[in-house]
Amino acid sequence: MTGPRYTPLAQSLPATVPFVGPETQERQRGAAFIARLGANESVFGPSPRAIRAMEQAASDIWMYADPENHDLRHALAEYHGVTPENIVVGEGIDGLLGYLVRLIVGPGDSVVTSDGAYPTFNYHVAGFGGVLHKVPYAGDHEDPAALFAKAAEVGAKLVYLANPDNPIGSWHSGADIVAAMDALPDGCLLILDEAYVECAPEGTAAPVSADDPRVIRMRTFSKVYGMAGARVGYAMGAPDLIAAFNKVRNHFGMNRAAQAGALAALQDGAWLEHIQTQIAEARERIGTIARENGLEPLPSATNFVAIDCGRDGDFAKAVLEALVARGLFVRMPFAAPQNRCIRVSCGDTADLDAFAVALPKALAEVRSNTA
């Protein structure tokens, strides 16, 4: 009896996952976290209108969801002033990144990203046998000019850029991104991941036509809209590219309650503004707590703040572990020199009170161990 005959590619892949979830950590610790500030979710929750729509959809859950996501796609098209043919809806940006990589990347194909950028993209590239080229950040910003120059050098089919960025929270103006796109090599598609753009200053969204064949933009209901567990994202791009997703996507992958919730969330502009204010206030408070403890918060256009712990990655990791030991779920960047930081998601007052109590204790413990 032999086991399943995995492809050589599957055999070559590591058994690791891009992120260990907080639930896994809670099981390992034998205790729940007191503040969940590690995954850039929105503790402020979805619009009450979205909750009502999802509750109403619950009794219809025996039906598969509309595989065309018709109503949500049309509403998104109207919202953005584009056509429904410019929009594909999928299981979060993570799901859409997987489909896109499957469409474009085969074994040995070159792809470019920043060293330390959002790792789920890298995971998909590895899964389809692509070769990932990584470009360093410029200071604490992803570097569009360097990314596009590297793409030209290695003949990349895809280049990934998150604006605003995760894990640092830095951003470029949309106009700067568009200007940099002049250097995108022919035949290379830019994935512009705008997961956090609703938290960013006016002018951060790239002013590109949805029909521009050089770029696909990705958005999500997981962040400002507070629906990470519903798994709804969408991509905007040229109609041919958007239509190609139909060849590979999981047509019945969407949850019908999530479709209804996203539609209602999109229509609740007042809630969006309310959350944008909550996020801005929480960012301020995280910054204040960091400074009170002698640490430097980095400017953020997202729903989290990266805090420079002032030393190396080992020190930041020890601070992170000391916070986790005190019941705070936080994460940190993977790559140097950004791994001198810990990354704290915006929380409500109780969450940030808990952070304000735990941080000085965590720092005192780590400083006494490393003195």
Ligand X SMILES: Cc1ncc(COP(=O)(O)O)c(C=O)c1O
Binding region for ligand X (CB under 6 A): 40, 92-94, 118, 162, 166, 193, 195, 220, 222, 228, 233
Identify whether 136 is preceded by a cis peptide bond (ω within 30 of 0). no
Per-residue HEC secondary structure of 288-336 comes to: HHHHHCCCEECCCCCCEEEEECCCCHHHHHHHHHHHHHCCEECECCCCC
**Coil/strand/helix, residue 182:** helix
Instruction: Identify the CA nearest to 223 among candidates 251, 262, 177.
Output: 262
Residue 198 vs 326, nearer CB to ligand X: 198
Residue at shortest CB range from ligand X: 92
Instruction: Return the axis-axis angle of helices 48-58 and 256-266, rounded to nearest 10°.
Output: 150
**Closest separation in Å from C-beta 275 to ligand X:** 16
* 311 contacts 337 by C-beta, under 8 angstroms: no
**Closest separation in Å from C-beta 100 to ligand X:** 12
**Closest separation in Å from C-beta 312 to ligand X:** 24
Q: Distance between CA atoms of 308 and 199, rounded to whole angstroms?
A: 21
Residue 92 vs 313, nearer CB to ligand X: 92
Instruction: Identify the CA nearest to 263 among candidates 200, 221, 226.
Output: 221
**Closest separation in Å from C-beta 150 to ligand X:** 19
* 260 contacts 54 by C-beta, under 8 angstroms: yes
Cα distances (Å, whole numbers) of residue 332 to 38, 48, 149, 305, 340: 8, 32, 28, 10, 8
What is the C-alpha R_g of the chain?
21
Residue 226 vs 233, nearer CB to ligand X: 233
Residue 131 vs 228, nearer CB to ligand X: 228
Residue 33 vs 99, nearer CB to ligand X: 99
Listed in sequence order, the DSSP H helices in 82-155 are 92-104, 119-127, 144-154
Question: Which amino acid would we find at residue 255?
Answer: N
Residue 180 vs 262, nearer CB to ligand X: 262
**DSSP conformation class of 283:** H
Residue 233 vs 313, nearer CB to ligand X: 233
**Closest separation in Å from C-beta 75 to ligand X:** 17
**Closest separation in Å from C-beta 269 to ligand X:** 20
**Closest separation in Å from C-beta 93 to ligand X:** 4
**Closest separation in Å from C-beta 167 to ligand X:** 8
Cα distances (Å, whole numbers) of residue 111 to 157, 219, 220, 259, 308: 6, 21, 23, 32, 30
**Closest separation in Å from C-beta 302 to ligand X:** 8
Other beta carbons within 10 angstroms of residue 265's beta carbon come to 25
**Coil/strand/helix, residue 75:** helix
Element (H, E) at 9: helix 8-12
Residue 93 vs 359, nearer CB to ligand X: 93
**Closest separation in Å from C-beta 23 to ligand X:** 16
Instruction: Name the strands in the sheet holding 110-114, side by side, starting at the edge strand that comes first in the sequence.
Output: 87-90, 233-236, 215-220, 189-193, 158-162, 110-114, 131-135
Residue 94 vs 308, nearer CB to ligand X: 94
Residue 231 vs 285, nearer CB to ligand X: 231
